[in-house]
Structure 1
Amino acid sequence: MTTTALTHGVHVLAAPGDRHDEILTPEALDFVARLAVAFGERRQWLLKERRRQAIRLATGSPLDFRLTTSAVRADPSWRVAPPAPGLTDRRVEITGPPDRRMAVNALNSGARVWMADFEDATAPTWDNVIGGQLTLLDAVERRIDFTTADGKEYRLADRDRLATIVVRPRGWHLDEEHLEVDGRPVPASLVDFGLYFFHCARRQIDAGHGPYFYLPKLEGRDEARLWNDVFLLAQELLGIPRGTVRATVLIETITAAFEMEEILYELREHSSGLNAGRWDYLFSLIKTFGHRTDFLLPDRAKVTMTAPFLRAYTELLVRTCHRRGAHAIGGMAAQVPGRDPAAHEAALAKVRLDKEREAEDGFDGSWVAHPGLVPVCRKVFDGVLGDRPDQIHRTRDDVEVTAADLLSVRRIGGPPTEEGVRTNIAVALRYFAAWMGGQGAVALDGLMEDAATAEIARVQVWQWLRHRVIQREDVLRTLDDELAALGAAYPWAPLDEVRELFERTALSAELPLFFTPEAYSRHLVRTTEPRA
């Protein structure tokens, strides 16, 4: 391995890989370094504020709509920027990691948007991070076509039939330990954003689109403001007109749900709407209020989007977006079409019902995880939208949501079942094993699972143990069973490491906020520097 010294105190602490030099040019690294120097300290302050807010809420401070920003919410005059080229019609969006096979399939799928996901669907090995950037560059340059060893061809369709690329960088809470500036790891979000923006922003503009992003796991308006300032500086440094960037924010934390309008306001010249992220939202709810018995949730399969507190959240999202001229994008359909005809039809029926609810509620589009679900989602939204590109005209003035509505979590479906506990343990273990092996999106039992589903699986076990609705000895017995099953199915799985990760993140007295930061440092970082 080599440590390569570059400009502005930048060091790449990883072995060079195939074609990495096309992405890690001195100029691109200098650009990322400028972003890191400009915003690194502010990002650290915001992460500390997250922890302070968590302590306040855990010690009894109420969560409510902020009085200090009531003028923003009350002002009817402001709106976000109009939809950018390629983002006017978003009735179907497909998500997945930025690998070459996924890229070709997603771009050709018939979806209007492909969200190239460096966050939940990517295990952040250095090869995956830089390989994902190469995938995007090759896709934009239309040189991504390839043929597999067994002769299967992957070819891009005509340009006007391709999905628009929208990139989801990693969240503010993560560092990229393979890249340092002035001896400090670069925020992973700025690595993913900066490398894509540097190499592809101008190319996308020339192709008739632009540099578009999905922003994950924001906890409030100040974090949105930070992203807006990143966009302003990035555009200035590369001479790109202000307002060219567009960003959709995933409302997937409970605190962000109370600041939807403020988030749109902070990003308004760069905003392209909000998205309802189901599993991360429930994960955030447990992280924030898991110490309270009135927030105890049942099996995750029983917490559907028809639950009153989730209905309040999604209806408020639609109302907020449409009031401000922004797109409201629905949640993920994670089903993977199977070979069994009955199971296949049952999965499609479930997807269809979910998308019909979203379209009727006023969403302008929705997510799917598999190309086989694109026609189902498109047909539903075609039936509601017709020739219109969206439903922004439906301002949903009938919706009135209070803080109590958002926080009124009821015991839906009773206490957790033995099957629910086992499913959560099995999903977490199998996902952890795949993630440690460099795979971030995994098909498990007919669903496409990613880091968000692993997070909700392990924090539910933690919550149930905390409130003693399940017994620790039963969990440990199930853990042994599922580890044995994992080892039998995947002999390569690092069972000791998987067990240690599960015990540390699901069975400890204090709940780790995310499984990814420490697991990344322990299992995925490969640098020239000695590490414990």
Structure 2
Amino acid sequence: MAKRQDGDTQVGVDGNIEVLAQAEGQDQVLTPAALRFLAGLHRRFEAARQSRLDARAAHQAHFDAGGLPDFRADTVAIRNGSWKVAPLPQALLDRRVEITGPVDPKMVINALNSGAKVYMADFEDSTSPTWDNLIAGQRALTGAVAGTLEFTAVGADGSTGKHYTLRPFEEQAVLMVRPRGWHLDEKHVRIDGAPMSASLFDLGLFAFHNSDVLAAKDRGPYFYLPKLQSMEEAQLWNDVIDHVERELRLVPGQIKVTVLIETLPAVFEMDEILHALRTRIAGLNCGRWDYVFSYIKTFRRHRDKVLPERAQVTMTQPFLKAYSELLIQTCHKRGAHAMGGMAAQIPISGDEAANEVAMAKVRADKLREVTAGHDGTWVAHPALIPLAREIFDERMPTPNQRHVLREDVWATRDDLIKPSLGTISRAGFEGNVEVCVRYLAAWLDGNGCVPIHWLMEDAATAEIARTQLWQWLHSDGLHLDDGTPVDFALLERAFLNLPGRLGDRARLPGASRINEGIGVLDRLTHADVLEDFLTLPAYARLD
């Protein structure tokens, strides 16, 4: 039985499972049975998770010493084999437009009602993992699966605003859930004295509470798996999900997954990742922003691989074009979907000309994706769904394009790692500082998805800005396009200029934590070693 110790808000189950925080409705989510299920996942898979994280560190040490990622010699037979993934369920045959976003109740309702084919409920890059957010997110998703979720907006003065309800199930987007990545702990839950994996916490709780209902509706459960770097990490996920299916008495293969190819090492193991998950994988996704972040991180010590400012690193750059087209070819050869990437733009109100420029960029990006052979795309804002759908409807009359084999694509190792050419402007440098500081402040305040200059910024885009700043500052001899040296004096001037860029600070998300964000970024950029993820040190400051 669970028992609460009111003095320290710990909950124990059988003396070895502790929950070190309290949130509204927590007892409905962390029932004794759910905690025992989570403990079983931790005890069975934590050692393997730590082994995979050790392997990541070893690979990065190899890259830091001058090594380069490449296709594996020991898996040639997998790449050359004629195998295919298992047939896809009806609900996942047509995924032409997917919307992503955090897991608060209002977002869940709006996304499921949005007209998109799929809603990816995101516990990862667009959710700040405060304990309140995580518990509220699990409750919202369980309510959505049950069809009972409602939300009423409340004004700052306590007044009641709009009431939100779900459309009928048949009119809703298909729900997919993205747990946090293998590298993250859930510090509020300790099993046998150790924090459990955030990945297992997020996926395990959602599966435990919703699998029966979703399976009865032939809707999964379905998941997006983030930030994998190798086939062994994919195999670990497969082992975890096999275990979940057995424990929850689901049909083997009932749970389906899509894997985000958003790390540079993973692009060299796409066949292998599909093979490891072949009984349950529905496709791969071009997680473009995290992929650019991973490129910078992988080559952080390679002076010849420094990228220009973020705005110049578009999907038409040769190394990103090779990545996306190889993903299409690989997926379609194996019978899986090749999903396109995120349009980060959001509608610009009050400036029709600027809005048209932004929407033209979205149109060009979605046209590029559907013409290349992608089976669907992502948007961050509901207003972009009709635009993306129109383009895919016109160019993709079939549910998907798995018949487009792209046998013309030939992407070598050097094609996939060749850096893009470009410059670093003062505006680009200071823009990176602003995005990092504003995002960190909002994230620390509990908001993981922040509109900044009409782009929807999440952890992935903030990571590009943060790692670019570190690499630029730690690479000798770099200059801005006006000849100014890129050094820490430039960073200090950017911090001094920041108030002018921010305007009325009081109106910004996380306004009270702007100075804290500046401090975190200052420490991260001065560190001799690039921190793997900004959310690792920042997480210690949450709750």
The two structures have a TM-score, normalised by structure 2, of: 0.94
Corresponding residue of 1:251: 261
- What is the percent sequence identity of the aligned residues? 48
Residue 493 of structure 2 is aligned to residue 477 of structure 1:
yes
Q: Which amino acid aligns with 1:97?
A: P
Q: Deviations over 1:189-234 (max 9, x none)?
A: 0000000000011111122311111111101100000000000000
Moved more, 313-322 or 292-301: 292-301
Give the Cα–Cα distance (whole angstroms) in 2 for the partners of residues 304 and 67 of structure 1: 31
Give the Cα–Cα distance (whole angstroms) in 1 for the partners of residues 35 and 239 of structure 2: 19
Corresponding residue of 1:358: 369
Offset, 1:151? 2.8
Corresponding residue of 1:229: 239
Offset, 1:496? 3.7
From 44, 52, 68, the counterpart of 1:38 = 44
Give the Cα–Cα distance (whole angstroms) in 1 for the partners of residues 311 and 173 of structure 2: 31
Corresponding residue of 1:457: 465
- After superposition, the Cα gap between the structure-2 partners of 1:403 and 1:390, relative to the gap in structure 1 and judged at 3 Å, is same
Corresponding residue of 2:127: 122
Residue 297 of structure 2 is aligned to residue 287 of structure 1:
yes
Corresponding residue of 1:238: 248
Q: Which amino acid aligns with 1:71?
A: A
Offset, 1:504? 2.0
Residue 384 of structure 2 is aligned to residue 373 of structure 1:
yes
Residue 65 of structure 2 is aligned to residue 68 of structure 1:
no
Offset, 1:485? 5.3
Q: Decide whether the 8 Å contact of 1:8 with 1:30 is kept in 2.
A: no
Q: Deviations over 1:43-85 (max 9, x none)?
A: 0011001000111122123321001000000011x11111124
Give the Cα–Cα distance (whole angstroms) in 2 for the partners of residues 39 and 276 of structure 1: 27
- After superposition, the Cα gap between the structure-2 partners of 1:283 and 1:234, relative to the gap in structure 1 and judged at 3 Å, is same
Give the Cα–Cα distance (whole angstroms) in 2 for the partners of residues 310 and 465 of structure 1: 24
Q: Which amino acid aligns with 1:477?
A: R
Corresponding residue of 1:5: 12
SS in 1 for 2:119: strand
Give the Cα–Cα distance (whole angstroms) in 2 for the partners of residues 138 and 350 of structure 1: 36
Offset, 1:438? 0.2
From 313, 335, 343, the counterpart of 2:323 = 313
Matched ranges for 1:386-401 at <5 A: 386=397, 388-401=398-411
Q: Decide whether the 8 Å contact of 2:95 with 2:376 is kept in 1.
A: yes
Corresponding residue of 2:85: 80
Give the Cα–Cα distance (whole angstroms) in 2 for the partners of residues 187 and 64 of structure 1: 29
Give the Cα–Cα distance (whole angstroms) in 2 for the partners of residues 334 and 8 of structure 1: 46
SS in 2 for 1:165: strand
Greater relative contact order (Cα < 8 A, sep 6+): 1
Q: Deviations over 1:333-373 (max 9, x none)?
A: 01111212222222221111100000000000000000000
Residue 394 of structure 2 is aligned to residue 383 of structure 1:
yes
Matched ranges for 1:3-402 at <5 A: 3-7=10-14, 9-15=16-22, 17-76=23-82, 78-149=83-154, 150-339=160-349, 340-386=351-397, 388-402=398-412
Give the Cα–Cα distance (whole angstroms) in 1 for the partners of residues 373 and 37 of structure 2: 40
Corresponding residue of 1:503: 522
Offset, 1:307? 0.4
Q: Which amino acid aligns with 2:474?
A: R
Give the Cα–Cα distance (whole angstroms) in 2 for the partners of residues 507 and 430 of structure 1: 19
Offset, 1:484? 6.7
Offset, 1:487? 8.4
Give the Cα–Cα distance (whole angstroms) in 2 for the partners of residues 325 and 427 of structure 1: 39
Q: Decide whether the 8 Å contact of 1:7 with 1:26 is kept in 2.
A: no
Q: Decide whether the 8 Å contact of 2:123 with 2:177 is kept in 1.
A: yes
Offset, 1:290? 1.9
SS in 2 for 1:213: strand
Give the Cα–Cα distance (whole angstroms) in 1 for the partners of residues 14 and 449 of structure 2: 35
Q: Which amino acid aligns with 1:471?
A: D
Q: Decide whether the 8 Å contact of 1:487 with 1:495 is kept in 2.
A: no
Q: Deviations over 1:370-413 (max 9, x none)?
A: 00000011111111111x110001111111111011011132x2
Q: Which amino acid aligns with 2:360?
A: A
Q: Decide whether the 8 Å contact of 2:326 with 2:411 is kept in 1.
A: yes
Moved more, 4-13 or 170-179: 4-13
Corresponding residue of 2:535: 516
Offset, 1:436? 0.5
Q: Which amino acid aligns with 1:497?
A: E
Give the Cα–Cα distance (whole angstroms) in 1 for the partners of residues 465 and 277 of structure 2: 32
Offset, 1:110? 0.7
Q: How many residues were matched structurally? A: 519
Q: Which amino acid aligns with 2:529?
A: E
Offset, 1:480? 2.4
SS in 2 for 1:272: strand
Give the Cα–Cα distance (whole angstroms) in 2 for the partners of residues 401 and 390 of structure 1: 23
Give the Cα–Cα distance (whole angstroms) in 2 for the partners of residues 7 and 452 of structure 1: 39
Q: Decide whether the 8 Å contact of 2:434 with 2:501 is kept in 1.
A: no
Q: Decide whether the 8 Å contact of 1:486 with 1:493 is kept in 2.
A: no
Give the Cα–Cα distance (whole angstroms) in 2 for the partners of residues 143 and 504 of structure 1: 45
Offset, 1:507? 2.7
* Structure 1 unaligned residues grouped into runs of 5+: 527-532
Q: Decide whether the 8 Å contact of 2:254 with 2:280 is kept in 1.
A: yes
Q: Which amino acid aligns with 2:470?
A: W
* Structure 2 unaligned residues grouped into runs of 5+: 1-7, 155-159, 479-485
SS in 2 for 1:490: helix
Q: Deviations over 1:403-435 (max 9, x none)?
A: 011011132x2x200000011000000000000
Q: Decide whether the 8 Å contact of 2:258 with 2:281 is kept in 1.
A: yes
Give the Cα–Cα distance (whole angstroms) in 1 for the partners of residues 235 and 49 of structure 2: 11
SS in 1 for 2:391: helix
Moved more, 475-484 or 105-114: 475-484
- After superposition, the Cα gap between the structure-2 partners of 1:372 and 1:495, relative to the gap in structure 1 and judged at 3 Å, is closer
Corresponding residue of 1:529: none
Q: Deviations over 1:158-183 (max 9, x none)?
A: 21110011000000000000001000
Q: Decide whether the 8 Å contact of 1:487 with 1:493 is kept in 2.
A: no
SS in 2 for 1:148: strand
- After superposition, the Cα gap between the structure-2 partners of 1:487 and 1:341, relative to the gap in structure 1 and judged at 3 Å, is closer
